[in-house]
């Protein structure tokens, strides 16, 4: 055997292992979620209540936004409205520039990822440091988060060790998570202390009180906000909840669904700025009001971004977050992205086995897999080009042109032909499957496979 071939085989085995490792990491979190929810007899009632509160929110959204604005303004908070990402980014820059601020820390916010805020700030010579550890890791790598709750779940500790060696001066070859986390702690503390503004995402915004709630495990959002003289909270308009006491429902669902924790370590509630400081809240539409028009897909606006559907998704677990090429990956991302930007993400609803596991775990009872199914039909019907070509091919093309993704996805395809039911492979978007059988047809049905493997 030539050495090249041997090396290839070796690399192949290693990558297979990596896919298995990714799969198992996610499944481990899914299992923790199961254990913590099974310990709560009222779990289903909480889901039902949360779902109905969110449905109420969607139906009353304009009134609730006005109520929120009124109360926040009375608290001394400045409320801004942004139609789209561009306007959101301009508002942030304008707030910072009016105060001559050129250094800002930011805690995790999918909204600012969606708006590509970092890029915009850097263009205006404003230094922005992501302070969530996982976010900081992907920022230093110049990558997007691969998961909404676990941004660096795709990386091995050795890769993070190498990154920190390069950027933070940690010892070469050091890969102990404790050591690396300590290095990040010291590095980020200097950033907290030198920044005079802090940006955060928002988990819940309470109409009745005009305040925002932010949930983290690291405490990074609060370190940023409470050391800064300008705090800016960026949120999509669907983050509103009506009543203060509704938090008693949502905080019980969020941590358990996300990581199996009974709650996030820090749940902070900001109603008023500290004396002498400024507090801003930016309400962002960016496609949400259009999304709300679409009856079949409206319920996906209930999402509280817990990540449970992502952790449980057999496709995500094998393909990895970057394969989706979208800010929010996984089942919910496969609804949100194409609903708002069909021209860029039309293939995503097809990257699902429709197994329904996402719907089962969703804490706000979004009918995720049904929406994915409807979205496929919608896309196939409204498209001018044959769906089979564009969709599957652009999904594949993106994976094939990015080597790191390919390692994950190549194995996913092999896994899919082994593991998905015939109808999932030979549906009409797969032209290859219409006239011939794909090799290595599955021995088990997907469901059998799933039941057998879910306990592992």
Which residue from 61, 366, 387, 420 is in contact with ligand SF4, where contact means CB under 6 A? 366
Locate all alpha helices (DSSP H) within 105-176, ordered by sequence.
110-114, 117-123, 133-140, 157-168
The CA distance from 453 to 13, in Å, is: 21
Which DSSP string do the residues of 341-396 spell out, in sequence order? -HHHHTTGGGS-----HHHHH-TT---HHHHHHHHHHHHHHH-SS-HHHHHHHHHH
Out of 82, 235, 247, 309, the residue judged to bind ligand SF4 by CB under 6 A: 309
Per the CB < 8 A criterion, the answer to whether 107 and 117 are in contact is no
Restricted to residues 313-342, the positions that interact with ligand SF4 (CB under 6 A) are 332
Residue 309's binding partner, choosing from ligand SF4, another protein, none, with beta-carbon cut-off 5 to 8 A by kind?
ligand SF4
Q: Say whether residue 188 binds ligand SF4 (CB under 6 A).
A: no
Query: What three-state secondary structure class fits 233?
Result: strand
Q: Nearest distance from residue 440's CB to another protein, in Å?
A: 32
Which residue's CB is nearer to ligand SF4, number 204 or number 426? 204
- Interacting residue with ligand SF4 among 199, 304, 313, 346 (CB under 6 A): 304
Inter-CA distances, 36 with 22, 43, 363, 451, Å: 22, 10, 13, 20
In whole angstroms, give the CA distance from residue 69 to residue 281: 9
Stretch that binds ligand SF4, among 203-211, 290-298, 358-366, 439-447 (CB under 6 A): 358-366
The residue within the footprint of ligand SF4, chosen from 91, 152, 232, 364 (CB under 6 A), is 364
Question: Which of ligand SF4, another protein, none does residue 251 bind (CB under 5 to 8 Å by kind)?
Answer: another protein
**Which of 307, 314, 325, 442 contacts ligand SF4 by CB under 6 A?**
307
Cβ-based nearer residue to another protein, 408 or 416: 408
Binding partner of 189, given ligand SF4, another protein, none, CB within 5-8 angstroms per partner class: another protein
Q: Which does 151 bind (CB under 5 to 8 A by kind): another protein, ligand SF4, none?
A: another protein
CB of 405 to another protein, least distance (A): 19
If the CB atoms of residues 161 and 314 are measured against ligand SF4, the closer one turns out to be 314
Nearer to another protein, 145 or 349 (CB): 145
With contacts defined by CB under 6 A, how many residues of the chain interact with ligand SF4? 15
Residue 282: partners with Cβ closer than 8 Å, 6 or more residues away:
79, 80, 81, 82, 88, 91, 92, 232, 233, 234, 235
Q: What is the DSSP letter of 261?
A: -
The interface with ligand SF4 within residues 247-286 (CB under 6 A) comprises 257
DSSP per-residue letters across 206-228:
ETTTTEEEEEESS-HHHHHHHH-
Measured on CA atoms in the order 251, 252, 255, 258, is the torsion positive or negative?
negative
* Residues binding ligand SF4 (CB under 6 A): 257, 303-309, 332, 361-364, 366, 368
């Amino acid at each position: 055997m030539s050495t090249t071939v041997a090396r290839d085989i070796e690399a192949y085995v290693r990558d297979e292992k990596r896919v298995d490792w990714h799969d198992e990491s996610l499944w481990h979190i899914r299992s923790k979620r199961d254990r913590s929810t099974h310990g709560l007899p009222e779990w289903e009632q909480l889901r039902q209540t949360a779902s109905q509160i969110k449905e109420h929110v969607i139906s009353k959204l304009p009134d609730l936004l006005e109520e929120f604005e009124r109360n926040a303004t009375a608290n001394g908070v400045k409320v801004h409205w942004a139609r789209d990402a561009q306007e959101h980014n301009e508002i942030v820059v304008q707030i910072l520039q009016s105060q001559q601020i050129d250094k800002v820390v930011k805690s995790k916010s999918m909204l600012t990822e969606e708006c590509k805020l970092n890029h915009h700030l850097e263009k205006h010579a404003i230094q922005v440091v992501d302070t969530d550890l996982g976010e900081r890791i992907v920022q230093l790598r110049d990558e997007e988060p691969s998961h909404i709750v676990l941004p660096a779940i795709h990386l091995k500790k050795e890769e993070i060790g190498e990154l920190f060696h390069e950027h933070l001066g940690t010892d070469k070859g050091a890969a102990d998570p404790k050591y690396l986390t300590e290095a990040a702690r010291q590095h980020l503390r200097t950033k907290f202390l030198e920044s005079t503004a802090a940006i955060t995402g928002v988990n819940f915004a309470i109409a009745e009180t005009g305040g925002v709630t932010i949930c983290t495990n690291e405490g990074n959002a609060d370190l940023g906000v409470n050391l800064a003289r300008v705090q800016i909270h960026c949120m999509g308009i669907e983050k509103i909840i009506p009543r203060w006491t509704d938090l008693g429902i949502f905080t019980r669902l969020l941590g358990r669904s996300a990581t199996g924790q009974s709650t996030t370590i820090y749940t902070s509630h900001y109603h008023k700025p500290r004396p002498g400081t400024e507090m801003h809240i930016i309400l962002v539409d960016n496609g949400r009001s259009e999304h709300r028009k679409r009856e079949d897909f409206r319920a996906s606006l209930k999402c509280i971004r817990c990540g449970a559907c992502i952790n449980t998704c057999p496709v995500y677990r094998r393909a990895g977050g970057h394969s989706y090429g979208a800010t929010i990956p996984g089942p919910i991302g496969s609804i949100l992205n194409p609903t708002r930007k069909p021209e860029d993400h039309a293939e995503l609803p097809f990257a699902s086995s429709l197994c329904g596991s996402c719907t089962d775990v969703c804490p706000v009872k979004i009918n995720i897999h049904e929406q994915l199914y409807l979205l496929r039909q919608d896309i196939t019907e409204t498209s001018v080009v044959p769906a089979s070509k564009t969709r599957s091919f652009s999904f594949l093309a993106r994976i094939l042109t990015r080597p790191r993704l390919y390692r994950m996805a190549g194995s996913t395809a092999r896994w899919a032909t082994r593991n998905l039911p015939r109808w999932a492979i030979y549906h009409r978007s797969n032209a290859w499957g219409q006239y011939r059988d794909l090799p290595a047809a599955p021995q088990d049905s997907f469901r059998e496979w799933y039941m057998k493997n879910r306990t592992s």
